[in-house]
A and B are shown apart, each in its own frame.
Chain A
Amino acid sequence: MFKAKYFFLLPALLTLVAIILFPLLFTVRVSFSSWDVYQAGLDYIGGKNYLRVFEDVRFWESFARLSLMSFISVTLQYVLGFALALAVWKQVRGGRTLRVIFLIPMMTTPVVMSVIWRTIFHESLGPANDLLGVIGIDAVPWLSSSTGAFVSVLIVEVWQWTPFMFLLLFAGLVSLPREPYLAAAIDGASAWKTFWQVTFPLMGPISIGAIIIRLIEASKIMDTVYVLTSGGPGTATETPSYYIYIRGLRDFQVGYSAALSLIYLVVMIVTLTLIAKFFTRLLNGKEVG
């Protein structure tokens, strides 16, 4: 039986349809068309674009690169973020100021910061090589070698997003219960043991949440790559997002880039779900153990 109260759901439902469902369904429809620079519009070419995606080695290579990039950068962000959170967790002098300073990188615009980092890494004019020179280290080909460019992107990512980890982990630390620490102190546990036996396990759920959120964000990396390396040298730093950008907006292969985007979306949902499940099992296993 119809109830008037359901009317109140209508604005929310319409908003949902307008901002989520319509673009998604439209992208699905576009992915089955040959819409490109010459042919505009929604013709129907079946699954040709999807077959092309599966044969597109460059796209899958960019996935492998993204996996490595995300794994290293999120791991480093987690370790550094945790260390910083622990450092200011206890009452230290200037703790408030330090907390604000730690958050600055996260509040800056990625494109602007990438431009600044590109200047820092400039191999003849940038300060990075000048500083290395002062301590007797040869100039590093930051952006002109494959390894250098990959490491440069990682450095910028870690610099920019470690504060996010710090923020979540710090919030987790301040909300931890006091009792386990009192018990550990009574048992005479060392600081190291207290961390491994008490803090780290208690921080499990928040850690998993923070890591998953960062993995989702890291998987979309585009602006840093665009400004810093343009995916190069060669394809050394090309990520799926940047590749889709090239195909869609530079080459104007609208139909094909829609197929790439949807495959990318599905792969990321599946992968991140599996990672989340893995972590949850790990956590549950520990709790059971």
Chain B
Amino acid sequence: MNTLIKKNCSIVVLSTSLGLLSTAVHAANYTDYGINKDLPGTCSYSAIDSKDYTGKKLNIITHAIPVIGEPTALHAEQFSKLTGAEVNVVHVPFGDLFQRIMIPFQSGQNAYDVLFYASLWIGDFNRFLSPVPEEYINSTGMKDVTDSFRGVAQWNGQMIQYPMDGDRHYLKYRSDIFESDEMKAKYKANTGNELKVPSTWEEYNQVANYFSGFDWDGDGELNYGSAEVAKRDDLMFSAFISRAAAYAKHPAVKGGFFFDLETMTPLINTPGFVRGLELFVEAQQAFPPGGTNFGLGDEIFSFGGGQTLMSYSWDDAFIQAQQENNRIRNKVSAAPLPGASEVWNRVTGKWDKFETPNRAPYMTWGWSSAVSNASKEKEMAFDFLCFFSNESNAEHDLQIGRFGVNPYRNSHFNSDLWTGMGWDPEVANSYVKTLSEMETSPNRVYDLRVPGVGQFMSSMANGVAAAMSGQKSAQEALDQVAAEWTEIVDRIGKDRLRDAYANVVALEDA
């Protein structure tokens, strides 16, 4: 009898071992999914593979391909293969994404379980999103997310967005030109100044102006000083915030950058913002032909294609420049956004001088994801998001510029990750240093994450565009914006907006 039991036990052990072995063999095959290996983590390939969602359906809305849309489609297909779930992905152009999400929310429809959208819309969407459950907050991937991006995912202290991207604006420049002895000598001879990476926006404009309109890289084509996102309805508002932040965000003044939190009075027409706009208008002289109509895509290809000396905005232009076979690969470098030697102090009503230029890193909006409150498949939806951003997928997606996924975890600020992709150590170090230092800056600026952010930004972009096209002076344009903002505050409700804006101020003043 004992022998029989032992035999049976041996069969069970053998079968279990074979089962495990077969899983191990199967795990090795996860490379078929395009990853180097299945990195360990809460939602690794093997962990998700053990779930069975056969017969269930997941509806996802995301951006058009490639930015975020392509990784969504890819990971949706992988998730479907691993779990047996039917995953339906809807791709929408950016201009329509907000309303395509908002209309079902407002009409109470359960149209989408998972949503990918711009993180600054949290002010409008928060009422409709499902809080991230504790087990996902404690997942390995989430624990590695930087404090600032965990903060971006929260609303009133509760995590309601699932971080899967990290964005900020920083300066990108052609290091080969800035380090060229010939260019340094030429610049010194013509301007009397040393050629150095700009530390203020005035210096930025001066250098950009000098390097506009001649062939400084010897490729037979004219080159220019600066590529900027200047098209009104194509994210230009973010470029303006980058330019104005250093003049308007005083490190000693707390309680609001866009508004005075106490009174909810708009600060958009205060001298700091006006100075930022004046310099933006002036910078147009250094744009390439058509540069005043550049959207983000144009900026990426202008700097990434070697046409311009400098640029600032999201990672994309830098990643584009660092793509394999790009002729300017490893000839670029990253640095913090230029600062300001004079900063407007709205408390004293005076300009304060700074010996070391004031920097105000702009933690601009990026992509985020969430699960709808109305979803009937919340567990599967969170599993999908956890899988989307698992260690292997995050590492894979970071390496593909067009995917639009940028560093957002502490482990991403490791030069080895980037040198492993063929980046020169100097380039990787400048990138990692610039990005990681922003995480610790005490003078950061965030987007206006409040209800009606679209109205505020649309009004601001229109005012900035009016000044850029010469229709109005910088002060007149921003006075008009301030008047419109006051109307919007009255319409949406001062208290409602103050409550929401307190979340932004808490991030900035933390």
Q: Which A residues fall within an 8 A CB radius of B? A: 34, 36-38, 40-41, 58, 122-124, 129, 139, 141-144, 146, 149, 229-236, 246, 249-253
Interface majority SS on A: helix, strand, loop or mixed?
loop
Partner of B307, one of A124, A230, A231, A253: A124
Cα–Cα distance between A59 and B452 once the two chains are bound (Å): 20
Known: A37-B451, A124-B290. A232 touches B231 (CB 8 A): yes
Q: A233-B465, A246-B233, A246-B458 are in contact. List 6 more A-B contacts (CB 8 A).
A: A143-B290, A230-B233, A233-B293, A250-B95, A250-B233, A252-B98
Chain B nearest CB, measured from A281 CB (Å): 39
- 27 A-B pairs (CB sep. < 8 Å): A36-B452, A36-B491, A36-B492, A37-B452, A37-B455, A123-B290, A124-B289, A141-B290, A143-B293, A144-B290, A229-B293, A230-B231, A230-B233, A232-B233, A232-B465, A233-B465, A234-B466, A234-B468, A235-B465, A235-B466, A235-B471, A236-B469, A249-B99, A250-B98, A251-B454, A252-B98, A252-B102
Instruction: Say yes or no: A38 contacts B471, CB within 8 Å.
Output: no
Query: Is B106 an interface position by the 8 A CB rule?
Result: yes
| Tally of chain B residues near chain A (CB < 8 A) | 35
Complex alpha-carbon distance, A246 and B95, angstroms: 10
Does B471 lie within 8 Å of A231, measured CB to CB?
no
Contact A252 B465 (CB under 8 A): no
B227-259 CB contacts (< 8 Å) to partner A = 231-234
Q: Which residue of A lies closest to B224 (CB)?
A: A124
Name the distance in Å between B227's Cβ and chain A's nearest Cβ: 11
Docked complex Cα distance between A40 and B106 (Å): 6
Instruction: Tell me which residues across on chain B come within 8 A of A34, comparing CB atoms.
Output: 491
Q: Which residues of B contact A36 (CB under 8 A)?
A: 452, 491-492
Which B residues lie at the A interface, using CB under 8 A? 95-96, 98-99, 102, 106-107, 124, 231-234, 288-293, 307, 451-452, 454-455, 458, 462, 465-466, 468-471, 491-493, 496
How far does the alpha carbon of A142 sit from the alpha carbon of B291 in the complex, in Å? 11
* A232/B98 in contact, CB under 8 A: no
**B124 x A232 contact (CB < 8 A):** no
B469 adjacent to A123 (CB under 8 Å): no
What does DSSP make chain B's interface, helix, strand, loop or mixed? helix
When chains A and B are docked, how far (Å) is the Cα of A124 from the Cα of B291? 9
B-chain residues with CB within 8 Å of residue A229 when the two chains form the complex? 293
Q: Which residues of A contact B106 (CB under 8 A)?
A: 40-41
With the chains together, A143 CA to B288 CA distance in Å? 13
CB neighbours (8 Å) of B231 from chain A are: 230, 232
B496 near A38 (CB under 8 angstroms)?
yes
Contact B455 A251 (CB under 8 A): yes
Query: Do the beta carbons of A232 and B293 come within 8 Å of each other?
Result: yes
Bound together, the chains give a CA A137 to CA B99 distance in angstroms of: 45
A275 to chain B, nearest CB (A): 30
With contacts A36-B491, A250-B458 taken as known, whether A233 is within 8 angstroms of B292 at the C-beta atoms is yes
User: How far is A250 from B458 in the complex, measured between Cα atoms in Å?
Assistant: 8
Q: How distant is the Cα of A234 from the Cα of B107 in the complex, in angstroms? A: 35
CB-nearest residue of chain B to A35: B106
Residue of B nearest to A57 (CB): B480
Contact partner of A250 (CB less than 8 A), chosen from B454, B469, B491, is B454
| A43 to B: closest C-beta gap in Å | 13
Given contacts A40-B107, A124-B307, A233-B465, contact A253 B290 (CB under 8 A): no
Give chain A residues whose Cβ lies under 8 Å from the Cβ of B468.
233-234
* Complex partner residue of B232 from A38, A58, A146, A232, CB under 8 angstroms: A232
Q: Given the complex, which residues of B lie within 8 Å of A141, measured CB to CB?
A: 289-290
